[in-house]
Chain A
Amino acid sequence: MSGNFKEALEIFGIGFGLVIFIMVALAYIMETVGKIVNKFESKKKAEVKK
Chain B
Amino acid sequence: MIKFMTGFSGLDLPHVIMILIGLGFIYLGVVKKWEPYELLPIGCGMVLANLPLTGIITQPAPGLGPGQAGVLGIILKYGLYQWTILPQFIFFCIGAMTDFSPLIANPRSFILGAAAQLGIYFAMLGAVLLGFTIPEACSIGIIGGADGPTTLYTTGILAPQIMGITATAAYSYMAMVAIIQPPIIKALTTPEERKIYMKPMLRPVSRTERLLFPIITMLLVILIMPKSAPLIGMMMVGNLFRESGVVPRLSETAQNSLMNIVTIFLMLGIGASMPADAVLHTKTILVLVLGLVAFGIGTAGGVLMGKIYCKLSKEPFNPMIGAAGVSAVPMSARIVQHMGQKENKQNFLLMHAMGPNVAGVIGSAIAGGYFLSLFMK
* Docked-complex contact B125 and A19, CB < 8 angstroms: no
* Docked-complex contact A23 and B370, CB < 8 angstroms: no
Which residues in A have their C-beta under 8 angstroms from that of B371?
11, 15
CB-CB nearest in chain A for B114: A23
Partner of B110, one of A8, A18, A24: A24
CB-CB nearest 3 A-B residue pairs: A23-B114, A27-B110, A8-B128
Indicate if A7 sits at the interface (CB-CB under 8 A). Answer: yes
* Docked-complex contact A26 and B107, CB < 8 angstroms: yes
Which residues in A have their C-beta under 8 angstroms from that of B104?
30, 34
Indicate if B257 sits at the interface (CB-CB under 8 A). Answer: no
* Also in contact, A26 and B367, with CB within 8 A (given A8-B124, A12-B124, A34-B107): no
Scan residues 81-136 of chain B and give those whose CB is less than 8 A from a CB of chain A: 103-105, 107-111, 113-115, 117-118, 120-122, 124-125, 128-129, 133-134
* Docked-complex contact B217 and A19, CB < 8 angstroms: no
Tell me the interface secondary structure of chain A in the complex.
Answer: helix
Indicate if B17 sits at the interface (CB-CB under 8 A). Answer: no
Using an 8 Å CB-CB cutoff, how does the interface string of A1-21 with B read, 1 for contact, 0 for none? 000110111011011101111
Which residues in B have their C-beta under 8 angstroms from that of A20?
111, 114-115
List the one stretch of B27-35, B192-200, B206-214 in contact with chain A: B206-214
CB-CB nearest in chain B for A29: B216
Which residues in A have their C-beta under 8 angstroms from that of B220?
22, 25-26, 29
* Docked-complex contact A30 and B107, CB < 8 angstroms: yes
Which residues in B have their C-beta under 8 angstroms from that of A5?
125, 128-129
Taking the closest CB of chain B, its distance from the CB of A23, in whole angstroms, is 4
